[in-house]
């Protein structure tokens, strides 16, 4: 599984060495992919270097749930399937509790499910994207995640330019193509 850092992608071993929380960026990117529902795949998905996230982007931007099969991580694959029409039942296959709660919130459970997310930034992001609006984005400390939140809750693609992480920025821009 690959994880995020502001300047590049790290392996799980690097994550443990640098004590970087992979959920800070992975979960909002998965949530962003939910908003990519459109009729044609976005060309921006090709700019995402992480193969799992690229497949997720393609699946949610018109490629359908068949693209989810290219995702190696089990949690991400179940999340992808839930977001591309197979419903909230797929959320039960997700082992990470925060991601599972995010999945349930995005598949009809509403913002009440966001309360089960332990990470404060992720919880604010979840609430903002499930009815709380852009005011919730102000509670997010991570600058990239805050810009992503503002972009997805109404400020538009102009906020994507404030994201420093390349994959996150490409996923953000894919939403608006």
pLDDT in tens, 8-55: 333 334 333 333 454 555 556 665 555 544 434 567 888 999 999 999
H/E stretch holding 2 reads: strand 2-4
Does residue 7 sit in helix, strand or coil? coil
CA-CA distance, 130 to 67, in Å (whole number)? 25
Q: Which domain holds residue 34?
A: 2-175
Q: Is residue 1 pLDDT above 50, yes or no?
A: no
Q: Domain tally for the chain?
A: 1
Token representation of residue 10: 């790290």
Q: What are phi and psi of 4, to 5 degrees?
A: -105, 150
**Triad 82, 113, 122: Cα angle to 5°:** 85
Q: Is 92 left (phi over 0), alpha (psi -120 to 50) or beta?
A: alpha
Residue pLDDT, tens place only, 113-132: 999 999 999 999 999 989 88
Mean pLDDT calculated for residue range 98-120: 91
Q: For the chain, give the mean pLDDT.
A: 80
Q: Is 3 within 8 Å of 10 (Cβ atoms)?
A: yes
Task: Give φ, ψ of 2 to 5 degrees.
Answer: -105, 150
Q: What is the pTM of this model?
A: 0.74
Q: Closest by alpha carbon to 129, among 167, 93, 172?
A: 172
Quick one: tokens of 93?
């296959």
């Amino acid at each position: 599984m690959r994880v995020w850092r502001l300047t590049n992608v790290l392996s799980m071993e690097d994550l443990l060495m640098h004590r970087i929380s992979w959920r800070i960026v992975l979960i909002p990117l998965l949530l962003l992919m939910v908003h990519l529902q459109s009729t044609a795949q976005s060309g921006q998905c090709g700019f995402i270097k992480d193969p799992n996230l690229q497949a997720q982007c393609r699946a949610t931007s018109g490629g359908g749930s068949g693209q989810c099969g290219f995702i190696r991580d089990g949690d991400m694959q179940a999340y992808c399937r839930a977001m591309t029409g197979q419903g909230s039942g797929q959320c039960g296959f997700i082992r990470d509790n925060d991601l599972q709660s995010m999945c349930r919130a995005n598949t009809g459970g509403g913002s009440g499910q966001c309360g089960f997310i332990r990470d404060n930034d992720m919880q604010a992001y979840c609430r903002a994207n499930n009815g709380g609006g852009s005011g919730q984005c102000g509670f997010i400390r991570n600058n990239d995640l805050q810009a992503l939140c503002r972009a997805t809750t109404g400020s538009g693609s102009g906020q994507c330019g404030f994201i420093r992480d390349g994959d996150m920025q490409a996923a953000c821009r894919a939403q608006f193509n």
